[in-house]
Copies of this chain bind each other. A is one copy, B any other.
Amino acid sequence: MNPRFTIEATDGAARLGRLHTAHGELQTPAFMPVGTYGTVKAMTPEELEGLGAQIILGNTFHLLLRPGPRVIAAHGGLHGFMHWQRPILTDSGGFQVFSLKSLRRLSEEGVRFRSPVDGSEVRLTPEDSMDMQLALRSDIAMALDDCTEHPASEGAARASMERSMRWAERSHRHYYATEPPGGLFGIVQGGMHPALRLASLEALLRLDWPGLAVGGLAVGETEEERLGILEGLVPHMPAQRPRYLMGVGRPEDIVAAVLRGIDMFDCVMPTRHARNGHLFTATGVINIRNSAHQDDTGPVDPGCECYTCRNYSRAYLRHLDRCNEILGARLNTIHNLHFYLALMRALREAIRAGTLTAWARDFLAARRAADAVA
């Protein structure tokens, strides 16, 4: 079924919404933990649910290479394969293919690349991406796009964006050719050029999408560039559709984007940071590997109510990290995902209460103060 979006409250440009999918509904603004290989690294589905994860993201590129569509289809799709019963969004695979750079060959048809797993040649066209996402039976699929390089001249960004729009149309036609298990989101491209962004949006809106994403950000641009693009684009996006900012980001980036009307986010930061010993706290990010934590019997964040902070000390987490223990990656991931998902709950509560502006000002001021100290 196509996801349906309802808006329950607004506060400035920010929206409190509810997205209904074949695997239940989720409240927005929402953060999607990333489950690259059919697992949000180190977590069970029950743990993710306990942390308040409403939806996760699966990576089409990685799952295409391993284990491939046949194995997942034999389990009835990605939900059954990985034992996750809530909604799943899958990306198109485009972003990962384009990051292969020299290993890929691009044409109007699509992209061909050497598998980093076994060296075989793999083809990814818009139709291939749709077929894979249909095999995964995700609740939200993404159109295949040509990921514009950064920085890109206006000419290069326009050519790339226009190809993305042709691919978006092919994606849409192929995805909806039969009764799909979910809905397909289109992706606005156009690099750092506001006029191209609006042209991309206009092109997309010739078709009906249950949601729209902003791609091509979180690629190395400055915060000013990113916010400038959002401020020029988001007010023109259909109000009644969810808006997904792909690959963003730091907690402060998420807050800034919610203030500008974004509803959905994904980022590897909380999970990847966790495995590298970087833990989010109310007063900034700490590196648990630092020797300052060696004898610290206190929790990562005294105000945090996560399982890790309720039961384990900084000294223990540092010890696990030094010994490369799996439990360390687990406990750190629990903490960081709790931080992100609690942030999303706080944002939703502030929108409902109509206090988002003041809440965000305090939050961002505390982050800047913490960064100034760190």
A interface residue numbers (CB < 8 A to B): 37-39, 41-44, 66-67, 70-71, 74-75, 81-83, 294-295, 297, 311-313, 315-316, 318-320, 322-323, 325-327, 329-330
Contact = CB atoms under 8 A, between A and B. Distances in A.
7 contacts: A39-B325, A41-B326, A42-B326, A42-B330, A67-B315, A70-B295, A81-B316
B297 A327 contact: no
A342 B70 CA distance: 35
Given A312-B83, A320-B37, A320-B39, A71 B294 contact: yes
A294 B311 CA distance: 38
Contacts of A327: 39, 41-44
B82 A316 contact: yes
Oligomeric state, in number of copies?
A: 2
Given A39-B327, A41-B325, A71 B319 contact: yes
Given A42-B327, A326-B42, A315 B71 contact: yes
Contacts of A330: 42, 44, 326, 330
Contact of A71 (B82, B83, B295, B326): B295
Given A71-B294, A294-B71, A297-B74, A66 B322 contact: yes
Given A39-B320, A71-B319, 4 more contacts: A38-B320, A71-B294, A81-B319, A326-B329
